[in-house]
Amino acid sequence: MKLDGLKIDRIIEMAWEDRTTFEAIQFQFGLKEQEVIDLMRREMKVSSFKMWRKRVQGRKTKHEKLRTFEKGRFKCSRQKSISNNSIAKR
């Protein structure tokens, strides 16, 4: 899949968000966790990538199976105002 600049920016933004799971990124953009990591490594400065990896490693909110709650939104309550979101309103 070819990703344009807007999609890459949105993936990076979602990857930085604590409560946005890798599964949500995969649902929206079709990228598995390792592909997101590779994209982050490729698109970010080395120091920023290292900071991000340190932040997300072991973070339970980044994986649906590790969350302590079953139901919840992976979207921020303000996300409907983000125009680059490719998931239609539900």
**Does 81 fall in a domain?**
no
Domain count, the chain: 1
Of 5 and 86, which is predicted with more confidence?
5
**Does 21 fall in a domain?**
yes
SS in 3 state form for 3-27? CCHHHHHHHHHHHHCCCCCHHHHHH
Residue range 31-42: average pLDDT? 95
Residues in contact with 85: Cβ distance below 8 Å, sequence separation at least 6, in sequence order? 10, 28, 75, 79
**Does 9 fall in a domain?**
yes
Residue range 16-23: average pLDDT? 87
Q: Contact at 8 Å (CB) between 36 and 11?
A: yes
Mind listing the pLDDT tens digit for each residue in 42-72?
A: 999 999 999 999 988 877 667 666 555 555 5
**Does 48 fall in a domain?**
yes
For residue 80, give the DSSP letter.
G
- Sign, CA dihedral 79-3-65-17, equals negative
**Does 75 fall in a domain?**
no
> Residue 2: which domain range?
1-60
Residue range 19-25: average pLDDT? 88
